[in-house]
Amino acid sequence: MNWAAIRSIYLYEMSRFFRTLLQSFVSPVISTSLYFVVFGAAIGSRIDQVEGVSYGAFIVPGLVMLTVMTQAISNASFGIYFPKFIGTIYELLSAPINFLEIVIGYVGAAATKALFIGIIILITSFFFVDITIQHPLAMVAFLVLTCISFALLGFIIGIWAKNFEQLQLVPLLIVTPLVFLGGSFYSISMLPPFWQGVSMFNPVVYLVSGFRWAFFGLSDVPVLASLGAIALFTGICVGVIGLIFKTGWRIRE
């Protein structure tokens, strides 16, 4: 393993992030605050509690997940698409590094950025609602795993995309609906039985549920199922990336 090269890629990507630190933080903070105003205050005042938790607090884990997932995907997909687009990818391909090292560098940086933003949102939410985190370690583990697995997915999208439209297509058409229908703002048990069944095919449900369990000790699906789902999801992404590596698909054609 060429760790020095991985470090270079990672730090280079992070420096881009820190250069635009304010932008990187301001927009998620503003949108989170808006979510709190709309969902927490306006709607939440009519739904007083979900399974014993105030609605404002109930949506915090979902909100953090929503942002972390979309941020991880967009950071990672853009991170690898950009060098492809402007042609600087030649440098990565001609350096004495393998694909795995490239993945670690880019995915690591994208996951870190998403994690930063996730934490910022969590901190912001403390200003709006009272929350205690019952299982802090599990909370961190779910958060970190989600950052990594969605950054992996983003990386795949960035490799696959041939233009900017495609880069936004998957997040827009697949990920956003899955995330919104993944129980970020409601408990799956609030749905009619049929839609509860359908929801079980949505991987995001498992992630949000596990994450929420870490906060409040209540979940839509068993915690182990959540862990299993995130492991499976990560495994699939790693498998696909391995396949890309082997075939050189859309990179070394």
Partner 1 sequence: MSAILQVRGLRKAYANGFEALKGVDLDIEEGEIIALLGPNGAGKTTLISTICGITTATSGNVTVGGHDIETDFRAARSMIGLVPQEINLEPFETVVNTVRFSRGLFGLPRKDKIVETVLRQLSLWDKKDNQVKELSGGMKRRVLIAKALAHEPRVLFLDEPTAGVDVELRKDMWDIVATLKQSGVTIILTTHYIEEAEAIADRVGVINKGELLLVEDKTALMARMGKKELAVQITAPIDTIPELLASYDLTLSENGKTLTYTYDTRAERTGITSLLSAMSEAGLQLSDVETRQSSLEEIFVGLVHDGKDAA
Which chain residues interact with partner 1 by CB under 8 A? 2-5, 7-9, 11-12, 15, 86-88, 90-98, 248, 252-253
Nearest to 59 by CA among 50, 72, 68, 71: 50
For 12, phi then psi, to 5°, come to: -65, -45
Smaller CB distance to partner 1: residue 130 or 253? 253
Residue 104 CB, shortest distance to partner 1, in Å, is: 13
Distance CA 11, CA 53 (A): 41
Distance CA 164, CA 85 (A): 9
Smaller CB distance to partner 1: residue 240 or 251? 251
Smaller CB distance to partner 1: residue 27 or 250? 250
Residue 247 CB, shortest distance to partner 1, in Å, is: 10
Residue 1 CB, shortest distance to partner 1, in Å, is: 10
Residue 152 CB, shortest distance to partner 1, in Å, is: 21
Residue 73 CB, shortest distance to partner 1, in Å, is: 22
Give, in degrees to the nearest 5, the angle at Cα 122 between 138 and 140: 20
Smaller CB distance to partner 1: residue 92 or 229? 92
Smaller CB distance to partner 1: residue 43 or 243? 243
DSSP state of 174: I
Residue 111 CB, shortest distance to partner 1, in Å, is: 20
Smaller CB distance to partner 1: residue 5 or 57? 5
Residue 96 CB, shortest distance to partner 1, in Å, is: 4
Distance CA 30, CA 252 (A): 41
Distance CA 166, CA 1 (A): 32
Distance CA 114, CA 108 (A): 10
Residues 113-116: contacts with CB within 8 Å, 24+ apart? 113/14, 113/17, 113/24, 113/71, 113/72, 113/75, 114/68, 114/69, 114/71, 114/72, 114/75, 114/147, 114/150, 114/151, 115/68, 115/143, 115/144, 115/147, 116/17, 116/24, 116/25
